[in-house]
């Protein structure tokens, strides 16, 4: 069975309860549509767990992208000279991550890791894919964290920039493909016009998965083989 979830945002308890609830076995796979870290306090713990399993996979979310960039800056040796040489764009990025995107909790967790674990986390984040596409029961699914900014029907997925795929909010009122379902996180489903509840949103070629776990909502998950939905 293939399960999909999204936007865990540091909630390790919801994550482990979900694994029990779907009874994830070695024959199953769980795909997380990014934003495992930030806001909640245990994002690094979730990341380490995912890295230790061979049946849990994740895409790059905008939170992982900015965290990786910031951790690489913060990992450099800090001297008076290196601080003076930080460009304004870099300090803006650090402030954005730590104060607006809930990155402080992730930085705290990361700081407590051993040096080899720190290196393993950074290497893992660097390799995360921007999208996945697969077919189940004759239905093709395109999985991406955010959206398809500057969409064109014949544009190859590899021709989108990372920002177009992970920071953009997809238009749930628009049908992008006739033959493909797009699965996204990033936009809490409570913010989708006409939906307004913390439940998975399915309409018009879209499956929106972010049920607001990072904002006091719930963690949603769907089994693509059966269509069954799970909530924690
Ligand atoms: Mn996001």
C-alpha of residue 53 to centroid of ligand 1, in Å: 23
Alpha-carbon gap, residue 44 to 21, rounded angstroms: 22
Which of the four pLDDT bands, split at 50, 70 and 90, describes residue 82?
A: confident
Q: Which CATH architecture has domain 2-64+126-231?
A: 4-Layer Sandwich (3.60)
pLDDT for 26 beyond 90: yes
C-alpha of residue 79 to centroid of ligand 1, in Å: 33
SS3 of residue 57 by DSSP: strand
C-alpha of residue 94 to centroid of ligand 1, in Å: 17
Nearest Cα residue to 175 out of 146, 143, 153, 199: 153
C-alpha of residue 104 to centroid of ligand 1, in Å: 16
**Mean pLDDT lowest for which of 5-9, 20-24, 83-87, 143-147?**
83-87
pLDDT for 34 beyond 90: yes
C-alpha of residue 84 to centroid of ligand 1, in Å: 31
C-alpha of residue 135 to centroid of ligand 1, in Å: 24
179-225 pLDDT per residue, tens: 999 999 999 999 999 888 999 999 999 999 999 998 999 999 999 99
Alpha-carbon gap, residue 184 to 6, rounded angstroms: 8
Enumerate the domain spans of the chain.
Answer: 2-64+126-231
C-alpha of residue 184 to centroid of ligand 1, in Å: 9
C-alpha of residue 150 to centroid of ligand 1, in Å: 18
C-alpha of residue 27 to centroid of ligand 1, in Å: 29
Q: What's the predicted TM-score (pTM) here?
A: 0.95
pLDDT for 81 beyond 80: no
Alpha-carbon gap, residue 211 to 188, rounded angstroms: 5
C-alpha of residue 226 to centroid of ligand 1, in Å: 26
Pairing mode of beta strands 201-203, 180-184:
unpaired
CB atoms within 10 A of CB 205: 16
Angstrom CA distances, 224 to 48, 112, 140, 158, 211, stand at 25, 37, 11, 24, 17
**Mean pLDDT lowest for which of 27-36, 51-60, 86-95, 154-163?**
86-95
C-alpha of residue 58 to centroid of ligand 1, in Å: 13
Which of the four pLDDT bands, split at 50, 70 and 90, describes residue 83?
A: confident
Both structure tokens of 69: 């960039």
At CA 84, angle to CA 80 and CA 85, rounded to 5?
Answer: 120
Which residues, listed in sequence order, are joined to residue 141 by a DSSP beta bridge?
Answer: 134, 181
User: Taking a C-beta distance cutoff of 8 angstroms, is the pair 24, 94 a contact?
Assistant: no
pLDDT of residue 116: 97
Alpha-carbon gap, residue 77 to 58, rounded angstroms: 30
Alpha-carbon gap, residue 216 to 226, rounded angstroms: 28
pLDDT of residue 120: 98
What torsion, rounded to 10 degrees, do the Cα atoms 48, 15, 8, 176 define?
110
C-alpha of residue 211 to centroid of ligand 1, in Å: 12
User: Taking a C-beta distance cutoff of 8 angstroms, is the pair 44, 128 a contact?
Assistant: no
pLDDT of residue 78: 72
Phi, psi of 186 (to 5 degrees): 75, -45
- The chain-wide mean pLDDT, for the chain, equals 96
């Amino acid at each position: 069975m293939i399960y999909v979830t999204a936007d865990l945002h540091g909630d390790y308890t919801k994550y482990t309860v979900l694994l029990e609830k779907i009874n994830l076995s070695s024959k199953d796979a769980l795909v997380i549509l990014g934003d495992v870290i930030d806001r909640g306090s245990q994002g690094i713990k979730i990341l380490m767990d995912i890295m230790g399993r061979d049946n849990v996979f994740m895409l790059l979310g905008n939170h992982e992208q900015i965290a990786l960039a910031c951790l690489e800056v913060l990992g450099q040796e800090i001297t008076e000279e290196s601080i003076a040489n930080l460009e304004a764009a870099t300090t803006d990025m650090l402030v954005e991550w730590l104060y607006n995107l809930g990155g402080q909790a992730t930085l705290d967790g990361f700081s407590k890791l051993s040096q080899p674990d720190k290196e393993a986390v950074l290497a893992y984040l660097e390799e995360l894919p921007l999208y996945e596409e697969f077919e189940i029961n004759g239905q093709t699914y395109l999985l991406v964290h955010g959206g398809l900014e500057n969409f064109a029907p014949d544009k190859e997925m590899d021709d989108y920039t990372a920002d177009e795929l992970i920071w953009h909010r997809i238009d749930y009122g628009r049908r992008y493909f006739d033959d493909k379902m797009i699965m996204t996180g990033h936009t809490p489903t409570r913010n989708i016009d006409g939906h307004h509840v913390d439940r998975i949103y399915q309409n018009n070629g879209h499956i929106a998965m972010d049920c607001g776990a990072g904002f006091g909502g719930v963690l949603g998950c769907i089994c693509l083989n059966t269509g069954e939905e799970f909530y924690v």
